[in-house]
Structure 1
Amino acid sequence: MVAGNESCFYPASFILLGMPGLEYLHVWISIPFFSMFLFAFIGNYTVLLIIFRDVSLHQPMYIYFTILAFIDIILANSAVPKLLSIFWFHQNEIDFHMCFLQMFFVHAFSTFESGIFLAMAYDRYVAICNPLRYSVTVTPRFIIISGVLAVLRGVVYILPMPFLGERFHQYSSNVIFHSYCEHMAVVRLACADVSFDDHLGMAIGFLVLIMDSVFIAFSYVMILQALLKLSVKARVKSFGTCISHVCAILSFYTPILCSSLVHRFGKNVPHHTHILLANSYLLIPPMLNPLVYGIRTRQIRQRVTRCFMKQSLS
């Protein structure tokens, strides 16, 4: 049942519209979405499998790759399967509580990923700016602590969102003009003052997007200063170890930044453009990360090639 704005009610479920205004293109839009989702799953699963099976890759940098691949798999699976079911089978309905659970997973795992990128930036900073202390600084204990802190920070930041959203028991409509249960797309349907929720979302966005980006940028300024003091040969070799991380950072933060800017300032931008941008950071980083690390990291590239060669010979 879909209620109008003239009455408020407690919905048992919500209706996700997918790409409002582009319903006639849903099947065609699903093709690139499904392709990116499939590539993200296969690519990240391959990275996990190779690193888990090869003991020589159980080093700090590759452990971070493993954590990142796991986060990317969960992040893509938190929204894309439901989106594809809307495109293919018109299954637009989502349970009230499942909607807030999806909200938590989408936003929390995005925050987890940002925290891991921050830890990886520190890893590269120590490796290049203070290499003699790398083995005693970036230890398995440090990796565990940084991973736990990234998760705890994400939970602390994001957990209030669904809990505060569920406090609303009266909604003007159960139709969400989005492809997944995005925070403000849901709470703005409530028959209540949602200014606190709006400010909370902005504050969390600032803490994650701006603060993490500033710290990562600062670490790379320090890295660049250290690289300029090295010989040309050592500079090229050291910078090569950072390229993968820089590419992954850009693929993650650029879609989020574009989506945030368009959401806040693009009042005349079509609504489906907002939704396409919001979905891009759920698919582009998970799709590109294994490709970036697979191409730029020699050890992973060699092991993937070796696996394909064994398959072709058998």
Structure 2
Amino acid sequence: MTRKPALAVVGATGAAGSELLQILTRHEDVWGGIRLIASPRSAGRVLSVRGEECAVLALDEDALAGVDLALFLTPGEVSARWAPVAVSRGAVVVDSSDAFRLDPDVPLVVPELNPHAARLRPRGIVASPHDTTLTLLPAVGALHAAFGLRELVLSSYQAASGAGRAAVAALREQLALVAGTELGTATGDVRRAVGEGRLGPLPAPLALNVVPWTGAVRSDGWSSEELGLREETRKVLGLPALKVAATCVRVPVLTAHSLTVHARFEDEVTVAKAHEVLATSPGVVLYDEPALGDFPTPADVVGTDPTWAGRVRRAPDDPCALELFLCADNLRQGTALNSARIAELIAAEFPR
């Protein structure tokens, strides 16, 4: 007997949840039914998916009953509590939070790179990487397969939406406050104009500014997102000793993360060969004609699926190293799309 599996989307009313519902509507229908779940305060809202109106259910054990696969787009503390409950009720869980990414019994999956790992889930959970990691890996993973990756030095330029809707609201309010002013020419004038009460979840003003910090404090001056980018990259690529150093920066962009990448390889590389690899890799678009003004920016890539790659150069002092710039929509490619693709891999395990 064949049947399509039943899907639950937990966190359906969030920003990534909204993107996911669009993706489910656009992709092939592999689901026997889709159940939308969110926090109790969002229960009763009606959302559209695949042309049907669905009432949102409050997250509880009953809402998770009878589900084959539960896709969590929730904060880590919510996933940590409720993902095991969903597994105990018979579901496979795909989780987009940081709750399980580095758990050795939970595979961390990027379908373009390690789809086989989605089947290896002793805890019944599959994790999706952080949105910054997902901006990086489609391109860097393809280059690793061609040249053998040895070392990464990274700087991220992360959009406000990566810190949640409160950060987006704070940036919008700050931009309105500073619009048309002469701020930014004297020490502290932007901070005074914005005021401490309008920072939202950020440690400093984001309008007319960049903030060299994302995540929580960790030892030796590192942030949780910098160390997470390092460990997630190692785990997905299967390179536990890979040298990775990252500096994560929040920038005044609403949506789409960017990265500068210094990648050192075992073999000598050329720009022509790197272009060939990137242009033919799934999940990557090569956009690299600087003389024509062609290189990816957040304004270009927002609302699109792939990682965009440009500014590809061979390092001037190392024939085994490349410099490049990557950019991707952090809500779409960086969260919702990867989770949907993992879920579709698992759905294919059901007999048809």
TM value normalised by structure 2: 0.27
Higher RCO (CA-CA < 8 Å; seq separation 6+)? 1
Higher helix proportion, which one?
1
TM value normalised by structure 1: 0.29
Higher strand proportion, which one?
2
